[in-house]
């Protein structure tokens, strides 16, 4: 990949892998794929869900509610989750096999107890930036390749927001896994089509050099 390309590694954390508090099915299987991709990129940024223990997205904070229920928040509909990725916990740590040494930065999100943050660019209120957009502008990034967890939530929202910030966005699908709640994968693909997000697989990136673009979502 070229100097204007970046690999965005989204939330490859213990709590999203088997044995974690919010496991994505086969979430740990993205790790070797991502590790193979890392040498292709000179620009790598990691994201990390980093919640306070009283985060409003936790079902435990809402009497009578269970994980995966939805509630209305001031910024819109919110899925409730099991407690996960609590600041400083083992669950919030990156998967131990993920190679992280070459990353330029770690963007932590979801730190505001009252607002969830799926996207690596903007919190769910759609107005509070994480700082990633400014960093990528400073680096003169043009294309963002996205991997990690999960396809239909944090990867998907980040990809759409990358387009909204003026970057090309390419999701490397075999380096992601979905939460796969009813309708969420289809909704993510529809959002990709609407935003102009491309989808590819790792072998195409590994063999494409600086020119690979992926295919339109669909």
How, if at all, do strands 198-200 and 168-177 pair?
A: parallel
Tokens 């957009």 correspond to 133
CB-count burial class (<10 Å; 0-12, 13-18, 19+) for 6: buried
* CA dist., res. 111 & res. 109, Å (int): 5
Q: Report CA 173 to chain centroid distance, whole Å.
A: 12
Q: Name the active-site residue from 28, 83, 152, 154.
A: 154
User: Which residue stretches of 79-195 are H helix?
Assistant: 132-138, 154-164, 184-195
Q: Name the active-site residue from 109, 116, 152, 161.
A: 109
| Of 128, 117, 196, 212, the residue nearest 160 (C-alpha) | 196
Q: Name the active-site residue from 11, 28, 83, 161.
A: 11
Which residues are paired to 58 by β-bridges? 81
| Residue 213 annotated in active site | no
| Residue 101 annotated in active site | no
| Residue 11 annotated in active site | yes
Q: How many residues does the chain have?
A: 218
Active centre residues (catalytic)? 11, 109, 154
């Amino acid at each position: 990949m070229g100097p204007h390309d970046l690999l965005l590694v989204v939330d490859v954390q213990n709590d999203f892998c088997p044995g974690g508090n919010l496991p994505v099915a086969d979430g740990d299987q993205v790790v070797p794929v991502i590790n193979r991709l890392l040498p292709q990129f000179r620009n790598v940024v990691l994201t990390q869900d980093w919640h306070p223990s009283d985060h409003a997205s936790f079902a435990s904070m809402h009497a009578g509610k269970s994980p995966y229920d939805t509630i209305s928040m001031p910024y819109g509909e919110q899925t409730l989750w099991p407690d996960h990725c609590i600041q400083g916990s083992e669950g919030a740590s990156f998967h131990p096999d993920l190679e992280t040494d070459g990353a330029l930065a770690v963007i932590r999100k979801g730190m505001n107890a009252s607002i969830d943050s799926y996207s690596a660019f903007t919190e769910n209120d759609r107005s509070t930036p994480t700082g990633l957009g400014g960093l990528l502008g400073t680096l003169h990034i043009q294309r963002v390749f996205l991997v990690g967890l999960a396809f239909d939530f944090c990867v998907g929202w980040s990809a759409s927001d990358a387009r909204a910030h003026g970057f090309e966005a390419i999701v490397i699908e075999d380096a992601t896994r979905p939460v796969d709640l009813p309708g969420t994968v289809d909704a993510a693909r529809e959002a990709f089509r609407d935003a102009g997000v491309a989808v590819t697989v790792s072998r195409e990136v590994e063999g494409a050099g600086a020119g690979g673009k992926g295919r339109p979502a669909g």
